[in-house]
Amino acid sequence: MYLWRSLLVAGLLMAAPPVLAATETAGDPALLKHGEYVFRAADCYGCHTDSKHHGRPLAGGRALESPFGTFYSPNITPDPQTGIGRWSEQDFIRALREGVNPSGQQLYPAFPYPAYTHLTDADLHALWIYLRAQPPVVQANKPHQLRWFVRPRSFIGAWKSLYFKPGIFRDDATKSASWNRGAYLVTGAGHCGDCHTPRDSLGGPQSGMVLAGTSDGPENSVIPNITPDKKTGIGRWSRGDLVTYLQTGMTPDGDLAGDLMAEVIDNSLQHLSDADLAAIAEYVRSLPPVDHSVRKSAKKPASKKLDRE
């Protein structure tokens, strides 16, 4: 698994300022509903819940093995001691927009702030309110087991200078509203490129390979090419085929999504509106096709022994 995605779970670990009083909007049903929708679109549940071991929602502890070591997702419940209960909303926004935690440390680039930086102020505020409304869970974060060269955060500033372009998503005036909505969901909240775009040795996206798939995906899995290439991608799928897949996990030939994508569909995509799924399909099908066949890599995932190297 590449650096970008494999480091995702390492990002939100540091505690900071005192707990803030609940905002007056925290109980607003419309705002909570908005926040839940962003939460679903961003698939926060999938990474921050150890479902395999029946973990509590958002309490962290999910293990992700990668060539860089094993990462454990952090607790993002409002618990003030082991979660993010001591974070302010400004801390939260800074983490997602700038990749910096409340203590000023750079966050590992696979925490998808390069995608979340595109989220609107309204979406980030609603997501924050929704997370603050979830039950706090007392569960300490597990230490990561990383290769020696991944442990220091000093390299992240250089990584950002090469790959990170902060900024809220801006509509393309030459495109339709639906296309722009799809672009926002794919490149922002959905952070689809984190899995579907192959990475270089530093964990940065390979040039010209957006959504072209990789054999070094999460948990040593093969992630398919979802560009409109007719030979190696999904170029033979119709817009309706893609929407059906995002809703149900069923491909045009009757096959079903693999375990990881099935999980994304279950936790995230099936909860999106028909209009948003159609927008995603419109955007993805408009991208340049990339002839890139992905196959199972012979490489094995990193061993937990790496922590002792």
Count CA within 13 A, CB hemisphere, residue 4.
26
Q: Which residues lie across from 66 on neighbouring strands?
A: 69
Query: pLDDT of 214-241, one tens digit each?
Result: 998 877 789 999 999 999 999 999 999 9
For residue 35, what pLDDT is reported?
Answer: 97
CATH topology of domain 177-286: Cytochrome Bc1 Complex; Chain D, domain 2 (1.10.760)
- What CATH superfamily is the domain 3-152? Cytochrome c-like domain (1.10.760.10)
Q: In whole numbers, what is the pLDDT of the chain averaged over residues?
A: 87
Query: pLDDT of 109-150, one tens digit each?
Result: 768 899 999 999 999 999 999 999 999 999 999 988 888 887
How many C-beta atoms surround the C-beta of residue 288 within 10 A? 11
For residue 219, what pLDDT is reported?
Answer: 77
Can 3-152 and 177-286 be said to share one CATH topology?
yes
Q: Are 22 and 132 in contact (CB under 8 A)?
A: yes
For residue 108, what pLDDT is reported?
Answer: 80
Grade residue 34 by pLDDT with cuts at 50, 70 and 90: very high
Sequence ranges of the domains in the chain = 3-152, 177-286
Query: pLDDT of 163-192, one tens digit each?
Result: 999 999 999 999 999 999 999 999 999 999
Say yes or no to pLDDT of 3 above 60: no
Residue 141 CB partners (closer than 8 Å, separation 6+): 13, 60, 61, 72, 74, 75, 82
Structure tokens at 123: 């979406």
